[in-house]
Amino acid sequence: MRLILLLFSIYLPQLAVPAAAQAQQVKTGVYLMNLYDLNMDEHSFYADFYIWFRWSGSIDPTNIEFVNAIEKWSMDKATFDGDSTPVKLKTGEKYKIFRIEGRFFHSFSLNRFPLDQHTLDIQIENPEHPADSLHYVADTLGAQIRNTLNLVGWETKRTEIISEVHDYGTNFGNPEENAQRYSNLSYNITLSRPISYFLLKMLLPLLVVMLVSIGALLLHPEHIDSRSSLPIGGLLTAVFLQQSYSSALPDTGYMVLMDKIYLLSYVIISLVLLQVIRAGNTTAKGKPVKGLIKMEKRLAQVFLGVFILGVLVLSVIK
């Protein structure tokens, strides 16, 4: 009796074929035509693309649901040739292609602005057939993005199609519902802002402000009015520059990368202003300023070095 149980424990798992191996395989590809209206306030974007299916089997895999679609009632879905009947290929496979245009959800994380990257995704599933009967496989032979597509203000880093199984972990309130796992196909396109945007439009104006503010330490301590006006003007200008880009961003509730850089500049400018006041008091008392002048020149180099190093460290740390 023990020998029989042992044989069952060894060979029974091998007789059970995995559900994924029995599923109907569907080769699916995406060709992106247009991508526009990246709305970070509403966490959405519009996409216009072709999607095709090649399969062999009795299940029609084209009855898909876009998992992250918004306003599904307004989505435009039409077959490429206007015929809903699948095309029979020479290989014996069935083929159908659709042109899709609609709005999709994406949660934009701006904590790295303006060095942020965003991976926009379009996810499809078949709500009628679970993963053990239908499985979408990425078709990477076709082009994934239109060559002439140009997204103003963004650079395309990469595109990819990922096939995986989405486990919902629930029977959706139906005790007789056993399907919890569905085949999920995700088309991803990763976008990033050009580095020139960060260096020329965001960092360069602030660097000029910092040079002018720190330059106050290079003036003779007797010119207290000129020395104090430089960091005060720099502080006000930095606040104005920060507000100019903050107004274009959604209310995040956290500090983005550029906010941290400006916070560093506020601290340094405040220290410069305090040193100007301290030097003015020393000069007013008639004390020698030769050593003070030499010290402030070194202090100006230190402040500038701290600012540049701080920007580099903040930019690298993720």
Q: What is the pLDDT of residues 175-188, one digit of tens each?
A: 776 668 899 999 99
Check residue 297 and give its pLDDT: 93
Q: Give the count of beta carbons closer than 10 Å to the beta carbon of residue 21.
A: 9
- Tell whether the model's pLDDT for residue 80 goes beyond 90: no
HSE, side-chain direction, 13 A CA sphere, residue 127: 6
Helices (H) and strands (E) in the chain, counts: 7, 11
Q: Please give the mean pLDDT across all residues of the chain.
A: 87
Q: Nearest to residue 101, comparing CAs of 184, 163, 36?
A: 36
Residue with token string 């290989």: 91
- Angle, alpha carbons 225-229-230 (nearest 5°): 125
Beta bridge partners of 52: 29, 97
Contact between 62 and 83 under an 8 Å Cβ cutoff? The reply is no
List domains and CATH numbers for the chain: 21-193 (2.70.170.10), 196-316 (1.20.58.390)
Contact between 51 and 95 under an 8 Å Cβ cutoff? The reply is no
Bridge pairing between strands 117-125 and 181-192: antiparallel
Average pLDDT over residues 242-254: 90
- Tell whether the model's pLDDT for residue 228 goes beyond 80: yes
For the question of whether the overall pTM of this predicted structure is more than 0.85, the answer is no
> 252-295: per-residue pLDDT in tens?
889 999 999 999 999 999 999 999 999 988 887 777 777 888 99
Average pLDDT over residues 139-149: 82
> What is the band of 12 on the pLDDT scale with cuts at 50, 70, 90?
very low
- Angle, alpha carbons 248-69-112 (nearest 5°): 35
Instruction: Provide the H-helix boundaries in 221-289.
Output: 224-246, 257-284
Name which of 9-18, 65-74, 192-201, 289-298 the model is least confident about: 9-18
- Alpha carbon distance 57, 93 (integer Å): 8
Q: Nearest to residue 44, comparing CAs of 255, 318, 250, 244?
A: 250
